[in-house]
Amino acid sequence: MDSDLSNKIPDEILTCILSRLSMKDAAKTSVLSRRWEILWKFYNSCLDFDDMETKVLLFQGQKQFDMEEEKYIRWVNQVVVSHRGSTIEQFRVSFDLERNKLWKPFKDMDEMYSFPTPWRWLGHDLKSLTSLRLESVNVTEQHVSYFLSDCPLLEELSIAGAPSLCKLRVVGHQSSLKLKYLEIRDCSVLKNVEVSAAKNLVYFCQGLFATKMHFQDVPKLSSVSLERGDYTDHLVATSFKELPFPVSQLQMLKLDLFDMMCFRPFMFPWEARKKFAQLTNLHQLELSFVVLNEQSMLFVGLLLCASPRLHKLVLKYQIDWYATEIQPYAWWVDFRVGKTHWKQVVGCKYECLKEVEFLGWNGLKADVELLTHLIGAAESLEVITIDPCDPFRVGVQKALTQPPKVIAAEEDDRNRARELEAKLPQTIKFVVL
């Protein structure tokens, strides 16, 4: 390596280059020479110990958990102990560990971490903090207020699973609040969310239940994600009239309607086609839901009627084959494909809709009924994308190879979709993934 040009490059520049690589790629350079072995120890980007390949093999039973657990712990401990950098941007451990086997500084971790009272850590300098994600960390309103006031560059704040957070206030002072991204999920006792004078806030995500929300003076808020929960169902059931956000600003909206569509479709305001609050500037709508076998999906049309400028519609869904066989519902007949609710969307026109994605396509009556309706009602439609893969497979499950039976079923779904292509107008591009 003496003749290598890299020997002429200062350590500071090489360290900067290393830190632009993933941790695994950066670690591979340590075998090049003694110099690279030392430089690797100053890697200051993301220490990401997520061994997805091993987790997949464990899930499939091709490796033994105890043996891989010990290897994983040695790997983490070796990197942490040898690290010589003054800072790291991110530290991530992802493995099902027994805490008594961790390196000593991590041995006493609890499943729920309680943040210390602010006066114990006011001396720490967090002036450069731009992103903060707290999951299963027991913070209070006082802690959140401290971060917002003493972290002037904070742009992203995510809080999930904080059991003592009863109230959340995000209040800007003049133009000082830089916060652009706010996410609040799974906080069981949170009853009140107030966001005021957050002039830079662009994105808000909530996954809460019975909660009161108030938004005021959020001129840039344009993207909202409403995850599964009673609060989301309530906003839809009231025809968007109780949305706490300025509806005219919304350009992207995500709705998780799992509970409503699978368990309580009678809550959906089927008779309120002309009563929905109009999302006049909404350009993209993403819906996640589960429907029963042969349950109509035409409720989507009523949401489109409330979005006159919608350009893109994304549907992520599953069909529950067995629910009606296990427990027949009294309201079931009215919600089947081809029954009374199709009348609610007769005459609907979606003049700006250009792109539709069916993620979770089965090619059954419900899929085809909705697709046929959209083709007839959206004269500007340009692209239809069909993907039969389960859109809710994430993490290890997404990395797993599907069983042959599932692969064959997905291919059958693709073939049924391709049969529909011949019936489509030639102006529509039909994509089957």
Phi, psi at 78, each rounded to 5°: -65, -45
Which of 369, 372, 376 is CA-nearest to residue 350?
A: 376
Q: Give residue 3's pLDDT.
A: 45
Q: What angle do CA 97, 98, 99 make, to 5 degrees?
A: 100
CA distance 202 to 181: 6
- The pLDDT mean for the chain works out to 79
Encode pLDDT of 153-178 as tens digits.
899 999 988 888 889 999 887 557 89
CATH number given to 225-433: 3.80.10
In the chain, where the domains are located:
5-101, 112-221, 225-433
Highest mean pLDDT among 21-25, 190-194, 401-405 belongs to: 190-194
* pLDDT at 365 exceeding the cut of 90: no
Averaged pLDDT, 202-209 = 86
CA distance 52 to 49: 9
Averaged pLDDT, 236-265 = 88
Query: Percent of the chain, pLDDT > 90?
Result: 21
Averaged pLDDT, 301-330 = 78
Phi, psi at 362, each rounded to 5°: -115, -15
Q: Give residue 363's pLDDT.
A: 84
Q: Which two tokens stand for residue 97?
A: 């560990």
Q: Give residue 422's pLDDT.
A: 82
Encode pLDDT of 79-118 as tens digits.
777 777 766 667 766 665 444 444 444 444 445 445 555 5
Q: Give residue 343's pLDDT.
A: 72
Within 10 Å of residue 181's Cβ, how many Cβ atoms? Answer: 17
Confidence class for position 256, pLDDT limits 50, 70, 90: very high
Q: Give residue 419's pLDDT.
A: 85
Q: Give residue 108's pLDDT.
A: 46
Query: Which of 127-136, 282-291, 354-363, 383-392 comes out lowest in average pLDDT?
Result: 127-136
Phi, psi at 131, each rounded to 5°: -140, 130
